[in-house]
């Protein structure tokens, strides 16, 4: 069984303009063969896909990301199975756009978690089945506290990354309950600041607590750059998957145009390997990194992993970093 993860997929602004002319596969560049050879595909959808709504104005917000409703076909081109919606852009065009997108995703048979018309929906897991095995995903964020879903208000599953907060206790209890009903459980965490190659210390503690509660994979994002991988109880902690598709300006030091495709290999009883394929964003497309840039990315990621106690090797034939999760 192989599960694929990529970080933030932002299809708004200039990407949306490009998609008025280019086919729906365009943002994935030359990476689609990797998507096609795995069993399950997951990303963080860092925009709202809808033809409706007006920019969020209740509280100050600088950036608003929306992509035309037809661009759900971009997700379908990559055969995306589940999207995380617990992030700081899902309500950029207020509730009407969110509800429109939820309907569109449902019609397209793309599972989603992390946002909804109330707390129950926002905190619910997305569950899918592969070869008779049930796989669940819970998505939460510590961004945009004013978007917190309540019993009577739409929004996101908001959880501060603080073990002493009662909302963390609720998250851990939800994880424990859902873990009893699935064969594998993923927790998607849109957490922390936009920058930094090293996970904040509270993420390390909180991430391990998620696994102690029953998570099998922690899928972190929000930071615009990737972070190293840590293994805990033979389970992978992806602290940040970085940006995968967007139109952002590129920082010359912390390269937010560089990321990876992450593929986890498991037989459900044990996790075996994690494979990382180096990717760069060029002309609003995800492309396989090449030459010196690829070598620098490999060196950086292997070093970041080693700083977290995770050894890796480079497989030149298959163009990927290989991590043994049994270490």
Alpha-helix runs per DSSP H in the chain: 13-18, 32-36, 72-77, 94-107, 119-122, 166-179, 201-213, 291-307
78-136 pLDDT, tens digit each: 999 999 999 999 999 999 999 999 999 999 999 999 999 999 999 999 999 999 999 99
Tokens of 80: 């995306």
Pairing of strands 155-156, 133-141: unpaired
Question: pLDDT > 90: what percent of the chain?
Answer: 97
How far apart, in whole angstroms, are the C-alpha atoms of residue 259 and residue 293? 12
Query: What's the rounded mean pLDDT across residues 142-157?
Result: 97
The pLDDT assigned to 123 comes to 98
Q: In this model, does residue 195 exceed pLDDT 90? A: yes
Domains and CATH numbers, the chain: 2-324 (3.60.21.10)
In terms of pTM, does the model score above 0.95? yes
Q: In this model, does residue 237 exceed pLDDT 90? A: yes
Q: In this model, does residue 303 exceed pLDDT 80? A: yes
Residue 314 three-state SS: strand
The pLDDT assigned to 327 comes to 63
Distances (CA, A) of 74 to 78, 234, 277: 7, 34, 20
Q: In this model, does residue 325 exceed pLDDT 70? A: yes
HSE-up of residue 206 (Cα within 13 Å, Cβ side): 29
How far apart, in whole angstroms, are the C-alpha atoms of residue 245 and residue 141? 20
How far apart, in whole angstroms, are the C-alpha atoms of residue 232 and residue 222? 21
Closest alpha carbon to 9 in 317, 243, 288: 243
Quickly state the pLDDT bin for 181 (edges 50, 70, 90).
very high
Residue 136 three-state SS: strand
């Amino acid at each position: 069984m192989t599960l694929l993860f990529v970080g933030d997929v932002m299809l708004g602004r200039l990407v949306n303009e490009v998609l008025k002319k280019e086919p729906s596969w365009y943002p994935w560049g030359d990476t689609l063969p990797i998507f096609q050879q795995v069993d399950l595909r997951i990303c963080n959808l860092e925009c709202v896909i809808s033809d409706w709504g007006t920019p969020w104005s209740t509280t100050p917000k600088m950036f608003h990301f929306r992509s035309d409703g037809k661009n759900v076909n971009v997700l379908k081109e990559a055969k995306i199975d589940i999207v995380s919606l617990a992030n700081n852009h899902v309500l950029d065009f207020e509730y009407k756009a969110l509800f429109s997108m939820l309907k569109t995703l449902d019609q397209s048979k793309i599972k989603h978690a992390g946002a909804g018309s109330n707390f129950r929906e926002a905190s619910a897991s997305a569950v899918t089945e592969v070869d008779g095995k049930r796989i669940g995903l819970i998505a939460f964020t510590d961004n945009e506290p004013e978007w917190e879903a309540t019993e009577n208000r739409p929004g996101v599953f908001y959880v501060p990354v603080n073990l002493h907060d009662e909302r963390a206790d609720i998250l851990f209890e939800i994880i424990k309950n859902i873990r009893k009903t699935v064969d594998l459980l993923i927790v998607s965490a849109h957490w922390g600041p936009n920058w930094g190659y090293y996970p904040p210390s509270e993420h390390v503690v909180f991430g391990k607590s998620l696994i102690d509660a029953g998570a099998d994979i922690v899928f972190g994002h929000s930071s615009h750059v990737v972070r190293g991988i840590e293994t805990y109880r033979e389970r992978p902690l992806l602290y940040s998957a970085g940006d995968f598709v967007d139109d952002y300006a590129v920082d010359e030091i912390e390269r937010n145009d560089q990321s990876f495709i992450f593929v986890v290999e498991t037989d459900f009883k044990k996790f075996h390997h994690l494979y990382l394929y180096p990717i760069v964003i060029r002309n609003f497309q995800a492309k396989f990194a090449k030459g010196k840039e690829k070598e620098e990315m490999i060196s950086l990621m292997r070093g970041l992993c080693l700083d977290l106690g995770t050894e890796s090797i480079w497989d030149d034939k298959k163009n990927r970093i290989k991590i043994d999760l049994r270490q």
